[in-house]
Amino acid sequence: MPQKIGTPFAQLLSKPPRTMIVLKLSSPNKKGNFMKLSLLRLLSLSTLLAFVGASKAFAQYGQEEKVAYVHAYLQKGDKIDLMQELGLSQALQSGVKVSAFKIEASSYSQAKMVLKYNGQKYDTQQIGTYSSNLSFKVPQSLYPQDKLVLVAKGDMSVTKVTAYLKPAYSSYPPGGAQAQAQALKAQVNQQVYGQEVFPVKKLVKDFTGVSLRGMEVKKVLIKASKSSYYGQASAQLEVNGQLVGFPQYLSKEMTKFVFEIPSYMPKVFGQGLRSVKLVVRGDAFVKMVGLKTKGQAQGGGYQQAYQFMVNKSFYRSERVSLVELFPYNAPRMDYYAPVEVLTVEAVGSGNIMVTGGGQVLETIAVAGSYGTSRSIRVAGLASVNDIKLRVTGRVTIKSIRIKMGY
């Protein structure tokens, strides 16, 4: 049972929490009823955060809550390790993903809370005088080995931290008509050495399942950074096989760059616009490419698509079926349905040979800690049950995305 000093907080919802200590002063001071973290530093934050386990929210809202009651006064530079204190590493391995973070906090002066993702600033929120419920952006690809830390920028009182979880797979409804204006993005997460050409149209179509025919391209997007302090790295737009405009030079900071198709060139897929690509030169890391489009897609669309977090490591030559990589809570699907596109995201050093329909569909070369994401056009040659992967080297498959029917 948790130890309690002073007034107990709200009753725990389900699983027994880890040890919790709530420190309150007998009389309030100008900083509030919380002991300063200068005293709390003597204790691990593991003892300060009460772990409230899975609630019943899955049944009602389709997501689960994990709540850590902090009840602590933080000073500038103090940190909360969300992965450790909320048990997110274990949760991600069990087949869920984080959809949102909320922090309940207040401050008597100008203060901010910064969310750092793998050491880099990811989101910042201002804390008001009265109790504030702050919502932080969540990294789209969050894995058990990642680091996620809240850093106090100023003095503040933090009451609780909440993580909202949902199944790691995503089920997409049938395709077809799309919104009038939208940004369609494909997560790439690929390291570039020297030069790489990114087929934006193909990547976006494979990643989103959207038929682009009949859609007008307003802007072409890329989010990237250069990998080295020395030398240059750039990105340039290529339309219908022709380089257009000037290259944009990347910095060490992850930045989104926007390109526009010149007015003298066709801008509608299926009406003169055949291909849109981005040419990246130099040593760089490309996180995302995308299109800002206008208009309505003409037909097409995937009937069903799923995404799973896998996080399975291989250390020698091993053969595994695609179905074996599914999490225990994967949705029911027709394993004999034809696969149109299979996307594999992996890190490490080695190769993944994908087979199906009695042939080798593609061999994916995996290199570097940044990882490789590759979409394979299966085109109905193999079913879910028929696809096998032969992994050689030290490789971790982080996620897979399957799109069936077309």
pLDDT score for 320: 92
Residues 28 and 163 reside in one and the same domain: yes
pLDDT score for 314: 92
Question: Is 51 a member of any domain?
Answer: yes
pLDDT score for 130: 67
Residue-averaged pLDDT of the chain:
76
In the block, tokens 């193999």 appear at 382
CA 356 vs CA 72, 203, 245: distances in Å: 55, 22, 42
Whether the Cβ atoms of residue 305 and residue 209 lie closer than 8 Å to each other: yes
Residues 190 and 160 reside in one and the same domain: no
Residues 39 and 150 reside in one and the same domain: yes
Question: Is 7 a member of any domain?
Answer: no
Question: Is 13 a member of any domain?
Answer: no
Residues 217 and 343 reside in one and the same domain: no
**Greatest mean pLDDT among 26-40, 173-187, 248-262, 368-382:** 248-262
pTM, two decimal places: 0.38
pLDDT score for 231: 86
| 93/81: higher pLDDT | 81
Residues 140 and 222 reside in one and the same domain: no
Residues 28 and 153 reside in one and the same domain: yes
Residues 322 and 344 reside in one and the same domain: yes
Residues 273 and 347 reside in one and the same domain: no
Q: Which of 263, 294, 325 is the last residue of a domain?
A: 294
Lowest mean pLDDT among 115-119, 131-135, 209-213: 131-135
Return phi, psi of residue 53, to 5°.
-75, -160
CA 266 vs CA 91, 197, 212, 271, 273: distances in Å: 48, 21, 14, 7, 5
Question: Is 259 a member of any domain?
Answer: yes
- Give the whole-number percent of the chain exceeding pLDDT 70: 74
Q: Which of 167, 200, 229 is the last residue of a domain?
A: 167
* CATH number of residue 62's parent domain: 2.60.120
* CATH number of residue 199's parent domain: 2.60.120.220
How many separate domains does the chain show? 3
Q: Looking at the predicted structure, is the pLDDT value of residue 148 above 80?
A: yes
| 92/29: higher pLDDT | 92
Range of the domain at 189: 181-294
Q: Which of 261, 276, 294 is the last residue of a domain?
A: 294
- Section 302-310 average pLDDT: 72
Band (pLDDT 50/70/90 cuts) for residue 47 is very low
Question: Is 208 a member of any domain?
Answer: yes
| 283/211: higher pLDDT | 283
- Section 288-305 average pLDDT: 68
CA-closest candidate to residue 277, choices 216, 198, 221, 208: 198
CB atoms within 10 A of CB 191: 16
d(CA 3, CA 1) in angstroms, rounded, equals: 7
Residues 356 and 311 reside in one and the same domain: yes
Question: Is 334 a member of any domain?
Answer: yes
Residues 260 and 187 reside in one and the same domain: yes
pLDDT score for 304: 67
Q: Looking at the predicted structure, is the pLDDT value of residue 90 above 80?
A: no
- Residues 220-273: pLDDT tens digits? 999 999 998 888 999 999 999 999 989 999 999 999 999 999 888 888 888 788
- Section 356-379 average pLDDT: 84
pLDDT score for 351: 93
Question: Is 135 a member of any domain?
Answer: yes
379: left (phi over 0), alpha (psi -120 to 50) or beta: left
Lowest mean pLDDT among 111-120, 138-147, 227-236, 315-324: 138-147
* CATH number of residue 393's parent domain: 2.60.120.430
- Section 338-351 average pLDDT: 88
d(CA 222, CA 186) in angstroms, rounded, equals: 10
Question: Is 3 a member of any domain?
Answer: no
Residues 155 and 253 reside in one and the same domain: no
Residues 127 and 229 reside in one and the same domain: no
Lowest mean pLDDT among 25-39, 183-197, 243-257: 25-39
Band (pLDDT 50/70/90 cuts) for residue 19 is very low
- Section 193-220 average pLDDT: 87
- Section 34-48 average pLDDT: 39
Whether the Cβ atoms of residue 364 and residue 386 lie closer than 8 Å to each other: no
d(CA 353, CA 363) in angstroms, rounded, equals: 4
pLDDT score for 296: 55
